[in-house]
Structure 1
Amino acid sequence: MPTIGIADTTFARYNMGRAAIDEIQKNVSVQIKRVTVPGIKDLPVAAKKLIEEEGCDIVMALGMPGAQQKDKMCAHEASQGLIMAQLMTNTHIIEVFVHEDEGKDEKELAFLMDRRTREHALNVIKLLFKPEKLVREAGTGQRQGFEDAGPLRM
């Protein structure tokens, strides 16, 4: 049975890990291993450990960078770490970040955190079980969270 890793943070203002697990369990039967770390810069090692020590086939790295410029720099550093961990383990780590300034208010921010997490959870399922679905979606302007952009027309 495949194992999906969930790495989330205490810094986030919404329980993204719970949303991811809920969406995964609604759609497939898999093992789930979850680890929660303080912040986004802790996610790369958490994801790498889920792969190497817990045997996860894929990992979701969930976090909420703050709105300040230094938070955006930390998010970039965390993203670089997640990319390095993917290359080191030859395993997908799906980064799901929602920046605190992406929502116009707390209600929209919570909506976005839930929706982006759930849509990426479905992408994880596609990567593991139905990669041909992703091929069919190529070039369709898919977005996670807000409305899809749609394809360009010639």
Structure 2
Amino acid sequence: MKVGVADTTFSRVNMGAIAIDELKKHASVAIERVTVPGMKDLPVACKKLIEERRCDIVMALGMPGGKEKDKTCAHEASQGLIMCQLMTNHHIIEVFVHEDEAKDDAELAWLAEQRTREHAVNAVKLVLHPEALTKDAGTGQRQGFSDAGPARR
């Protein structure tokens, strides 16, 4: 298995290094990393990781700012990542941490690390152990903050 990790210089946390560290803890996998300037550069980076570097799955890591323009750019990047998945028939795990999700820099750094690590585990499960994800279906899993839990009647 080969995992692609695409991250950005715009992010305020080195999410790519965190993803690689966590991936190595859960599987013996080859890892290909690409760093691009911003979120809207992620779709082509991911497509190249899949098509040119033959990755089985890719993590797209980004940190949109808190301004409305940043939210628009994040949406555009997300749309591009969805298109890339459909074009390549490969999963791309989008790991975005919006700056306005956290109350301060410490919480932002914590959230970026937690979400990245949890999604790295998801990437391994998706390719190597999909039955583990099926077991968690409907349990309200969240990456970063606390899980929501299943809805009750």
TM interval, shorter chain, is over 0.9
Question: Could you tell me the percent identity over the aligned residues?
Answer: 71
In the alignment, does 2:79 pair up with 1:72?
A: no
For structure 2, the 5+ residue unaligned runs are: none
TM-score, normalised to structure 2's length? 0.99
Specify the alignment match of 1:21 in structure 2.
20
For residues 50-86 of structure 1, give each alpha carbon's deviation from its aligned partner in whole angstroms, at most 9, with x where no partner exists. 0000000000000000100010000000000000000
State how many pairs are aligned.
153
The aligned runs of 1:34-49 (5 Å cut-off) are 34-49=33-48
Amino acid at match of 2:134: V
Aligned alpha-carbon RMSD (Å) = 0.4
**In structure 2, C-alpha distance between the alignment counterparts of 1:123 and 1:149, rounded to whole Å:** 17
SS in 2 for 1:14: coil
Specify the alignment match of 1:59 in structure 2.
58
TM-aligned CA deviation for residue 24 of structure 1: 0.5
Q: Deviating runs (4+, > 4 A) in structure 1?
A: none
For structure 1, the 5+ residue unaligned runs are: none
Specify the alignment match of 2:105 in structure 1.
106
Amino acid at match of 1:32: I
**In structure 2, C-alpha distance between the alignment counterparts of 1:121 and 1:79, rounded to whole Å:** 18
